[in-house]
Structure 1
Amino acid sequence: MGRDLLDDQRLTAVGLFFEAHTGLNARFAAQFCEHHLSPVEFEVLMRLARSPGNQLRMTDLAAQTSLSTSGVTRVVDRMERDGLITRRACPTDRRSSYAVITQAGLTRLDEILPGHLELIEQWFTGQLRPEQLTVVLDALRTIRDAVNPGATAGTTPTEHVVVEV
């Protein structure tokens, strides 16, 4: 194997990205645990809270997370038992259902987010100058859109459903 292959800047870029991701996940996981949530449960709550109507179709939730459709079903089942989210039938398609964050889920996020934002500031955004953060955000969106085009599925309101939780 040639030395120039091992010194390829592409390996360095992806290696640094994974190292940063792993380090941030470790910092965040401890905080999620304090609030009795797994990282994926936090991600689900955030995705729902930041979506129109605080809801997403189950298939869109799967596309936006690292979970398969069956994995999303298991997580939603567990979170529904905990009262953090609920399911609603889609009024226009019997085969689809929505995951909807409940008031208890929003309250849990309200408890977590101040400390979580402090961690983000300390270990991620606060490490960058404003112009660097802009470049990083643009680059991450470009990469995300290429490798996970479904990551924003369901985030634009296509139908207006009134949901009471």
Structure 2
Amino acid sequence: MTESLDSARLAAWRAYIESSQRLFTRLEDDLRADDELSFADYHVLVLLSEAPGQRLRMGELASRLIFSPSRLTYQISSMQRRGLVTRQPCPDDRRGSEAVLTAAGLLTLREAAPHHLASVRTHFMDDLDDAEVACLTRIFERLGQRLRSTRDASTPHATS
């Protein structure tokens, strides 16, 4: 049987789970109310806007979003219907496809970004001092790196 957490670690775990869920819900509610976007829509738009040529292979995008291939296909199809992205064959490998940001998608991101950043500040960043921001950055960068390494070691990479 696995050893239980001590009271301090259990309190930290519960505080993290409850507050992170509330934060995510609040940020998504604000995105939906202000810009009619889901958090996943916004994240796709950001990743594509930062990518060379504003395009990413579907497998790379799924990996960065931490989505299954089927979930990404559903997400991109939904965004395609709204004119935010297109899906095109990879120029160098016709077997694969890429998600490509459209002009409408870029405009949507540019309009949504100020509202989203205000929401992030209001509901998260404005309550933290510089030392807390630095501590959270160290914690989550270390945790993210460990989790990526664990996933990469046990999961075959998507290629499409």
Quickly name the TM-score band, shorter chain normalised.
0.7 to 0.9
Measured in 2, the distance between the counterparts of 1:8 and 1:53 equals 50
Measured in 1, the distance between the counterparts of 2:144 and 2:81 equals 32
Mind listing any 5+ residue stretches in structure 2 that lack a counterpart? 153-160
Mind listing any 5+ residue stretches in structure 1 that lack a counterpart? 152-165
Count of residues in correspondence between the two structures: 149
The alpha-carbon distance between structure 1 residues 133 and 30, as it changes in their structure 2 partners (threshold 3 A), is: same
The alpha-carbon distance between structure 1 residues 12 and 47, as it changes in their structure 2 partners (threshold 3 A), is: farther
- Aligned residue type for 2:146: A
- Aligned residue type for 2:115: G
Measured in 2, the distance between the counterparts of 1:6 and 1:77 equals 42
1:158 paired residue number: none
Pairs within 5 Å for 1:13-52: 13-34=12-33, 35-52=35-52
Structure 1 segments, 4+ long, off by >4 Å, are none
Cα displacement string for residues 50-95 of structure 1 (whole angstroms, at most 9, x for unaligned residues):
2233221101111111421011011111111111011222122122
Identity %: 33
Q: Which moved more, 1:42-51 or 1:72-81?
A: 42-51
1:113, CA displacement in angstroms? 1.1
Structure with a larger share of its residues in helix = 2
Measured in 2, the distance between the counterparts of 1:19 and 1:133 equals 19
TM-score between the two structures when normalised by the length of structure 2: 0.81
Pairs within 5 Å for 1:59-98: 59-98=59-98
TM-score between the two structures when normalised by the length of structure 1: 0.79
Pairs within 5 Å for 1:113-152: 113-149=113-149
